[in-house]
Amino acid sequence: MKNITIVGAQWGDEGKGKIVDHLCSKFDVVLRFQGGHNAGHTIVTGKDKFILSILPSGLIRNKLCIIGSGVVIDPVHFLKEIDLLRKRKIKISQRNLKIANNASILLPFHSIIDQVREKRLSKKKIGTTGRGIGPCYEDKIARRGLKIYDLEDTNVLKTRLKNLIDFHNIFLKNLSEKKISFNETFKLLVSLRKKILPFSIDVSEFINSKFFFKKKLLFEGAQGLMLDIDHGTFPFVTSSNTIPATAATSIGIKPSKIGHILGVLKSYTTRVGEGPFPTEIKSDIGLEIAKNGNEFGSVTNRPRRCGWFDAVQCRKAIQIAGIDSIALTKIDVLDNFKKIKICYQYKNGKKKIHFMPSSNKILNNVKPVYLTVDGWCANTTGIKNKKSLPQKAQRFIKIIEKLINTPIVFLSNGPDRNDIINLRKID
């Protein structure tokens, strides 16, 4: 199998972690390329359940894992997550976990700023996790943020941290909020630097070395394509680019090395937070899907809004990401529905729309046009091959495949890591 990049092709929470876990045994390295600890990957192994938010999912399989420069790293949370996994007998050391020395550092005050803005300044909430991801990315783009390598020299760290805190204290003072303490923050970073720096390397130099010339790489995305800062439902998006092209930038490799692009889709649609959602179900059916699918954020525990599968949205995701094939997840959640709907186009007044518009004004006014199919009303969990699936479930899969014009290669039919059917080989 060639190199592969795995991305969520909806608004996140599609089950990327499970697909990474399923595939990574065939790869040498797993690389996380964007986002922060606002992204949750859940892996269920028998009675064990692992929830990762900053560490790559490949650690559960004891793979070499790398976090790229496109990720913002909260050092406190990073070390805490390592400790939690070590307590559960997962081996983690600088041998199997490495972070980019030019990745941005997310500090405790970033979350304070995030929460203050959401509560006091936004007339309409975006629906952030409040974990400081946005403010940290802002500091990166404004060239005032801290990098992992700034921890190497305490004099450099002191100067850069003071400038950063002085900038943010102007904002907090204007809102009569408590100012950030330089001494407390500096002391925290000094106490953590010797624990963080052993994991730190020049990722581009490392991954482009001769040692990796014939190694197989698996790139792991976070969030979903519809939350991409450029191509998503702006401003109700995350603060990073979630599209696969970001992997090359974050790791520092040739774009051609990101390989085959696998998009992960749920058999229905969900999103967390605010923003347009054409196929959202606001009746008891939506609540039933949420209950069946345990649709609560693995990191934040926030309830997810639920809706029917949206082929219009998926076609856009496939185009902007260059998706080659699909992993379809959570088909078991629909096992008990007599009728299932699939959105195949939108209507805006009398106008038919086959491609998801970028404008939120238009998107908020469109009406989904549905194809209604018979449900299979049978248990799909535990089935190991496509031919054993109920005929109506097979028809559902074929309809989706035809509407999005992309092959479905994997089908997830339960929460456990072994509840996956290989439908066909990846080209």
Catalytic residue set: 13, 41
| Pairing mode of beta strands 367-374, 309-310 | unpaired
242 touches 232 (CB < 8 A)? yes
Residue 267's closest CA among 184, 193, 341? 341
- Look at the block and give the residue holding tokens 């051609």: 256
As given in the structure block, the two tokens for residue 169 are 């204290």
- CA distances (Å), origin 257, targets 3, 16, 124, 322: 7, 20, 41, 14
- Dist CA 427 CA 421 (whole Å): 17
Supply φ then ψ for residue 73, to 5 degrees: -110, 120
CB atoms within 10 A of CB 3: 19
> For the purposes of burial, counting CB atoms within 10 Å of the CB of 127, is it exposed (0-12), middle (13-18) or buried (19 or more)?
middle
- Dist CA 207 CA 209 (whole Å): 6
AA letter at 335: D
182 touches 233 (CB < 8 A)? no
Peptide bond preceding 235 in cis form (omega within 30 of 0): yes
Structural Rg of the chain based on CA atoms: 22
Supply φ then ψ for residue 85, to 5 degrees: -70, -40
